[in-house]
Chain A
């Protein structure tokens, strides 16, 4: 009996050590950003392509006010409500962050204090970002207007409020490969980077598995709206028959082929896309059409 108890204790201990080991927050290699100079002008393109303002600008901010990254946007989900933090260059935001800190956040979902961020911050997509893009983005974020708005804590229930478990989520769901494996033209490669990495389109347009990761077998096939009623529409070629021109024009103007206009969250996405060069919107369209051959 005593042997069995000891055996069980050892098993529990081993389990705890394994959990601790498996759920450690990861960070970037020390030399990832060595020698990289951030260019704020390129960083602005990254900023709009990445859709940062859609969550980090104050809710309902329009025009230039979308450059004040005060936070406060609420993302409702089955796990609770996530509240986007202030990421403006102030003490409440990213003041004091190094480019490595930003790299850890975007590539590994790890905070400067070494904690896991919730995947409502879409690092599952941002993990594909190039180091130069992160350096550029950092340089651009540093130029933005300050806000002293307080970052509010997420309203998340037990057990989801124990962030260590997010390490397991990452192990299960952070897949480093591209979905579109063959991007054999520069345009497709750019489109893939814009859609799968920066634009993080799949985070809403792809349904999720039981563990809350993206179901890559149903890529862009539409999904329930995590923030309420209705569905996020499918944008995969099997389910959406818009031409590439239609898609690019929609991303520029918000006008559908029927000349209805975008509503809801897509209005904010289109405001972001309008800041990109025309070639980028066409690259996104080319990518979506190319999914048919995947």
Chain B
């Protein structure tokens, strides 16, 4: 009984220490939460794109309904208002690459990030129309859509290891 108590109190102490370590975040919680939101958005993109890609590669069989659903999700994600995702000061140069890979030039005067976002809206809308109209049609829409992803990642994301 004594050892169980000891174990429980040990765990409690460890828990408190761990929580304190986590909450000792030196960055503004509002910024941390914006970064989390935009990274989650990227995961949703990849999750939906993944179904279309698996069909395009022939890893799973083509299903018009499922493809359309995923493509419409992507189109909806692309249309979402992202202005609160990108508070100033939430760039890699300020916060370090461990927290974000978003380069400060996103916020620069001559940034073309808006045009890139617009292209994503257009290419994902085209995919939403194309995905249900047969596998070749889906494959055809994949190129421009993927290119719109790369359009941002080429210039605005830090080069990865």
User: A interface vs B, CB < 8 Å?
Assistant: 60, 225, 228-231, 233, 245-246, 249, 252-255, 258-265, 267-268, 270-271, 274
Mark B121-161 against chain A: 1 for CB-CB distance below 8 A, else 0: 00000000000000000000011001101110111011111
Which chain B positions have C-beta within 8 A of A245?
57-59
Contact A228 B159 (CB under 8 A): yes
Chain B residues near A274 (CB-CB < 8 A)? 143
Residue of B nearest to A252 (CB): B143
CB pair B154–A263 under 8 Å, yes or no, is yes
B53 CB, min distance to chain A CBs, angstroms: 6
- List of A residues within 8 angstroms of B58 by Cβ: 245
Q: Bound state CA distance, A293 and B46, in angstroms?
A: 33
Contacts A245-B58, A255-B49 hold; do A263 and B146 have CB atoms under 8 A apart?
no
Determine how close the nearest CB of chain B comes to the CB of A102; give it in whole angstroms.
Answer: 29
B46 contacts A267, C-beta separation under 8 Å:
no
A136 to B58, CA, bound (A): 35
| Chain B residue with Cβ nearest A268 | B154
Indicate if the CB atoms of B53 and A263 lie closer than 8 Å. no
Given contacts A245-B58, A253-B143, A263-B153, contact A229 B49 (CB under 8 A): no
User: Residue of A at shortest CB range from B51?
Assistant: A259
Determine how close the nearest CB of chain A comes to the CB of B92; give it in whole angstroms. 11
Give the residue among B46, B49, B50, B159 with the most A Cβ atoms within 10 A: B159
B56 within 8 A of A: yes
B50 A259 Cβ-Cβ under 8 A:
yes
Cross-chain contact A259 with B46 (CB below 8 angstroms): yes
Q: Which residues of B contact A (CB under 8 A)?
A: 45-47, 49-50, 53, 56-59, 142-143, 146-147, 149-151, 153-155, 157-161
Say how far B19's CB is from chain A's closest CB, in angstroms: 31
- Interchain CA distance A18-B142 in the complex, whole Å: 58
Distance to closest chain A CB from B58 (angstroms): 7
Q: Is the CB of A254 within 8 A of B150?
A: yes
- Hey, which chain A residues are within 8 Å of B49, CB to CB? 255, 259
Q: Return 9 A-B CB contacts under 8 Å, by A number.
A: A249-B56, A253-B143, A255-B146, A259-B45, A261-B149, A262-B150, A263-B153, A264-B159, A265-B159
**Residue numbers in B under 8 Å from A229 (CB-CB):** 159
For A264, the chain B residues whose CB sits under 8 A away are 153-154, 157, 159-160
Flag if B161 contacts A231 (CB, 8 Å). yes
Q: How far is the CB of A284 from chain B (nearest CB, A)?
A: 16
Interface pairs A-B: 4 shortest CB-CB: A267-B154, A253-B146, A261-B149, A263-B153
Chain A residue at smallest Cβ distance from B155: A60
